[in-house]
Chains A and B, each alone.
Chain A
Amino acid sequence: MKELGKKVLAGDIRAASRLIRNLEDQIPETNIAMREIFAHTGNSHVIGITGAPGAGKSTLTDELIDAYRKKDKTVGVLAVDPTSPFTGGALLGDRIRMLRHAEDKGVFVRSLATRGAMGGISKAVGEGIHVMDVLKKDKIIVETVGVGQQEVEIINHAHTVIVVLVPGMGDEIQALKAGLMEIADIFVINKADRDGAGKLYKETLNMVKMSKDMGDNGSWTIPVLLVENVLEPNKFAESVKALSDKIDEHYQYLVDNNLLSERMRRKTAAEVNEALWGNILQPVLSDLHSQGEMEKMVDKVLSRQTDPYTLAEEIASRYIKKQA
């Protein structure tokens, strides 16, 4: 599809979903479109939702969409599910919880498979957020896979991270200790209709207080919210509306303290790093490969005629000279 970047800038949904697809498929020309749209990004509020599989992340996202639509905000969703390591295929089941928004033009839901990426999101999420941003989504919600405690990638992409806990999973406090504490801006105790919700709530409050005493998290006190049973729609909607208010409060806190762009610093550094890699090292490597020189170099090192360090210096001076 030609002129992908321009079409996305004009708000074309089909072009936007194709661009995200090209990002997932790692089509090299995708850079052209990303370059066109980049200047128009940086306006959306990015919200991450993480927590164990089955914790109710998708159900919560669905209701959050509703809460934000009632506040007249547009919403983009990137929902990540795992790729099977055996077949490379994936069952993407988050959307099934959000079907009621399918026809709402103010809502764009996109499912992504991890495709082998660790850390709970897919590699395309970072740039997928830029695409949603250009589509002028006020709120962009990223739902992570929820496989475990290494799911800290989301902190690099979201302004506000919500950690969803549920009673009865046994290892909640373990999880808190293991690092979720550091990434949470808001805790949700979900399925508050279940046994043990009150206990979990108290334990989480204690954890928050302890970390506060240790001076973490600046001046933001991590709120702990109980979200009521999804089976009682009115109560559920009410508590998710309260959650959306808290999320907005956190956003305002970041704005007031000039922390908004600070949150994106690591992501941006990674993007610059990757672009440099793609523009400097990648072409050199493909050049060396296509000339068959890579194989010869490996042979030389194997037979100890030279070493990798000397070789790298030679190659570097050769290509850098070419440039000058």
Chain B
Amino acid sequence: MSDRRIRILLAKPGLDGHDRGARVLARCFRDAGFEVIYTGCHQTPEQIASAAVQEDVDVVGLSCLSGAHKYLFPQVAKLLQDEGAGDIMVIGGGIIPDQDMQALYEAGLKAIFTPGATLDSLVEWINTNVKPRA
């Protein structure tokens, strides 16, 4: 009689302080039945990784408009691996140029969503890719 729920941590690393998009996303994920830990703007990759481990989330969702994704996204993925939490999936969103994609996937990101992606497609990706774990 177990009762598994998907847990997601949302964060907005980097310097830009607009988190309206991330808030919309948080509400959308809640309505999809996920437990969402929203942590807001301006966090360092270290803070994000540490919070993700303490919260035992399935997914870390990062959004970034400031162009610093090239460093910040891979750094979160690396820190999680270092903490033995490489199974936590890191996904990213934002204005990310095509030529950066390859490097981000190689750094361990599992999915990248650009501004055209619908909210439904995000929810569907998570429902398909998060495997219930033992």
Contact = CB atoms under 8 A, between A and B. Distances in A.
A17 interface: yes
Mostly, the B contact residues are mixed
Interface in A60-105: 83-84, 87-93, 95-96, 99, 102-103
Contacts of A108: 54
B95 interface: no
B103 to A, nearest CB: 26
B7 A21 contact: yes
Contact of B53 (A14, A84, A91, A95): A14
B55 to A, nearest CB: 6
A89 B35 contact: yes
A164 interface: no
A88 B5 contact: yes
A17 B54 contact: yes
Contacts of B35: 83, 89-90, 92, 111, 113
A115 interface: yes
Contacts, number: 92
Contacts of A99: 39-40, 43, 47, 51
Interface in B6-48: 7, 26-27, 29-40, 43, 46-48
Interface string B91-110: 00000000000000000000
Given A14-B83, A102-B50, A90 B55 contact: no
B85 A14 contact: yes
Residues of A in contact with B, size category: 20 to 34
B84 A14 contact: yes
A95 B39 contact: yes
Contacts of A237: none
Contacts of B40: 96, 99
Interface of A: 1, 13-14, 17-18, 20-21, 24-28, 83-84, 87-93, 95-96, 99, 102-103, 108-111, 113, 115
22 contacts: A14-B85, A25-B5, A28-B1, A87-B30, A87-B31, A90-B35, A90-B36, A91-B30, A91-B38, A92-B35, A92-B36, A92-B37, A92-B38, A96-B40, A99-B39, A99-B43, A102-B48, A102-B51, A110-B55, A111-B35, A111-B37, A113-B35
